A and B are shown apart, each in its own frame.
Chain A
């Protein structure tokens, strides 16, 4: 618009202004094709404000912004503006931006403790909805330092403790809050919730403890059973000291019992106190194996072999692995000897053999067909003993 000459009447200025357009087109108007977009850019007519204000795109808006956030205003005013901004973002559920606004407000370090307490509390709320419960808690604690009786801060703090599973603290904060307002419903509900969760947690701890104790007792019983039978155990790794002190032995057992056999089978004891072992049968001729998951110590080898070789297995190319033909051996690694086991003996009898060492709580036996060429070759050059 043209500057009006001082002294001229309004009408005069108006007339000459209007007359201008008879010769010149108005340049400041909207473009026909995009007038709606341009309309939206005028701050007064904006429906939604842009989240970032680019001074080049929106010079008017940037101008307004600089007026509001003018550094020359008092810290209290500036902080209040940031608080309002943060609250707006909060209402839109843009919690990240809300945190930033509140932080800017706090940075002003204004001297109004109420305002700062509110900034902290509101930021705590935004942090809460972002899932940052620790940060939220820190903020309410800062708020309470300024205003210890700020109820909203106390409610928020109790909620944070609840989320962080600090149930005792949650109840304590609720109690502090209820001292200020004994009928505050949110605190009553929070307290009841936290109390119930605390008691449930305590029950879970008791349950776990009892379970652990039971497991330990079971393991102890198994250890005792093994000891009573004079069965020798050996660690998995080669080179372990065989003359383990009883302490080392129990560790072996406990380790073996707690870490399951790769195939999931475990040493167990029945109601009569009899053990059942997971037993591995190896067939060196065809590099095959079988795992009997629960070989009762009083059952005989032949009983199992009858079942296992009821039908000849698929890998038995010569179809010679029949229960009657089979020979069972165990290896004494140290002395590089093999012991031939009578199939009619029980597992317990063999395990108790002075040269039998159970590795990894899984007794292992070698099986081949006695009369076969493979067997003869296999046994050649090794010391072979018979177990009665």
Chain B
């Protein structure tokens, strides 16, 4: 019997994935496709099958009894590979729009999966642009972006899906200036809604997405004063996840922002090191201008960072923390360097700095390895003696 190529095998699945097919056959076919997406070669194989991809998308947005969940999960795996974005969008150019509809539909049970696909897709500029366009289409009364923020910030927006992945979606979208402009609109209440989510306990995906969004927003140094001022008051929400159950003196306590005073003895710090790093980076961005630096200093950031530094177990986060502390306790820079985001760095210095960065990273990696290896080799030595 002639060997059938994997390609041909895959093509055989196509009829069973068609809408209107028997539900059990559809389900089996979808599961098979999902299994294929679990491996590199499998994904590459599927990439070449435009008709199959199309059918997959149709299933992902189809109502029960279609195997929408498995189809969506297959798409999640496919979208995780940036190399597959082109074939996916070629097979179904309206992929972002349709998945967006599902993700923001309060009654769609697989909205989380749809959001996860979008989170993966929006990492790359082309799909991100497509998604932004899809969001810009104004529904009566509420733009897509407004709806997305509302879905992210309203608990119970979708009773069957937690929608944590809307966090990373927003974070990716906030790389574009139009999104940031909406988030930082002073005539609305948008960025303020995101702030409490930095403490969201049930999902590091959501927290990470929100913190990433805030960090991207803080590149807009024209908005720093407003962000640090009473209308937004961003700093306490960035410091709170970094604060532990410290026992400050009465005098020190009064210098801290209200949200950081008298924290209970069981206060936990942000468990995810990457998020901790992003929070510190965000505060660092806010210190780029002289007025911003002053506000951050005046609001007692140093105390929190000092305690964080003595607790921080991750070397690279500790280094980032040190740099920020240096900025806070260091002297004011000379004229011409007031806005660190706008300074022109001479080439030679740029190269030196990059070298320093490289060395630091190596140092960190070495420390990391030492931590992991621990006393192992020495114990062996002792045993062999």
Contacts and interface: CB of A to CB of B under 8 A. Distances in A.
B146 A192 contact: no
Interface string A191-209: 1100110011011001101
A210 interface: yes
B189 interface: yes
B150 interface: yes
Nearest to B154: A175
B146 A182 contact: yes
A179 interface: yes
A174 B192 CA distance: 13
Given A178-B189, A183-B188, A192-B230, A203 B146 contact: no
A208 to B, nearest CB: 9
13 contacts: A178-B189, A179-B150, A182-B146, A183-B187, A188-B189, A192-B230, A192-B231, A206-B261, A206-B264, A207-B261, A207-B262, A209-B264, A210-B262
B362 interface: no
A199 B259 contact: yes
A196 B231 CA distance: 10
Closest 5 interchain pairs by CB?
Answer: A206-B262, A207-B262, A183-B187, A203-B258, A182-B188
Contacts of A188: 187-189
A203 B150 contact: no
B278 to A, nearest CB: 23
Interface in A180-239: 182-183, 185, 187-188, 191-192, 195-196, 199-200, 202-203, 206-207, 209-210
Contacts of B142: 179
A192 B188 CA distance: 11
A21 B220 CA distance: 90
A206 to B, nearest CB: 4
Contact of A200 (B187, B188, B258): B258
Nearest to B253: A207
A206 B263 contact: yes
A203 B261 contact: yes
Interface of A: 174-175, 178-179, 182-183, 185, 187-188, 191-192, 195-196, 199-200, 202-203, 206-207, 209-210
Nearest to A205: B262
Contact of A191 (B189, B259, B261, B264): B189
A210 B262 CA distance: 7
A183 B230 CA distance: 18
Contacts of B193: 175
B246 to A, nearest CB: 12
Contacts of A210: 262, 264
Contacts of B262: 203, 206-207, 209-210
Contacts of B233: 196
A3 B325 CA distance: 101
Contacts of B264: 206, 209-210
A83 B10 CA distance: 74
Interface in B162-194: 187-189, 192-193
A381 B188 CA distance: 89
Contacts of B231: 192
A185 B189 CA distance: 10
A191 B142 CA distance: 20
B61 to A, nearest CB: 26
Contacts of A185: 187
Contacts of A196: 230, 233
A227 B97 CA distance: 74
Nearest to A180: B141
A179 B149 CA distance: 12
A202 B199 CA distance: 15
Nearest to A213: B265
A350 to B, nearest CB: 38
Nearest to B146: A182
Given A178-B188, A192-B230, A206-B262, 4 more contacts: A182-B189, A192-B231, A203-B259, A209-B262
A188 B190 CA distance: 10
Contacts of B189: 174-175, 178, 182, 187-188, 191
A123 B264 CA distance: 44
B268 to A, nearest CB: 15
Contacts of B258: 199-200, 203
A210 B265 CA distance: 9
Interface string B126-160: 00000000000000001000100010000000000
User: By CB atoms of chain B within 10 A, which of A188, A191, A196 has the most?
Assistant: A188
Contacts of A206: 261-264
B295 to A, nearest CB: 17
Contacts of A209: 262, 264
A202 B231 CA distance: 19
Nearest to B264: A206
Contacts of B261: 203, 206-207
A191 B192 CA distance: 10
A149 to B, nearest CB: 11
B287 to A, nearest CB: 23
A291 to B, nearest CB: 31
Contacts of A207: 261-262
Interface string B219-263: 000000000001101000000000000000000000000110111
A200 B187 CA distance: 25
A183 B146 CA distance: 12
A182 B261 CA distance: 32
Contacts of A183: 187-188
A190 to B, nearest CB: 10
A203 B257 CA distance: 10
A178 B193 CA distance: 12
A126 to B, nearest CB: 29
A261 B75 CA distance: 75
A203 B261 CA distance: 6
User: By CB atoms of chain B within 10 A, which of A178, A185, A191, A196 has the most?
Assistant: A178
Nearest to B247: A210
A357 B188 CA distance: 70
B154 to A, nearest CB: 8
A217 to B, nearest CB: 12
Interface in B188-211: 188-189, 192-193
Nearest to B261: A203
Nearest to B263: A206
A182 to B, nearest CB: 5
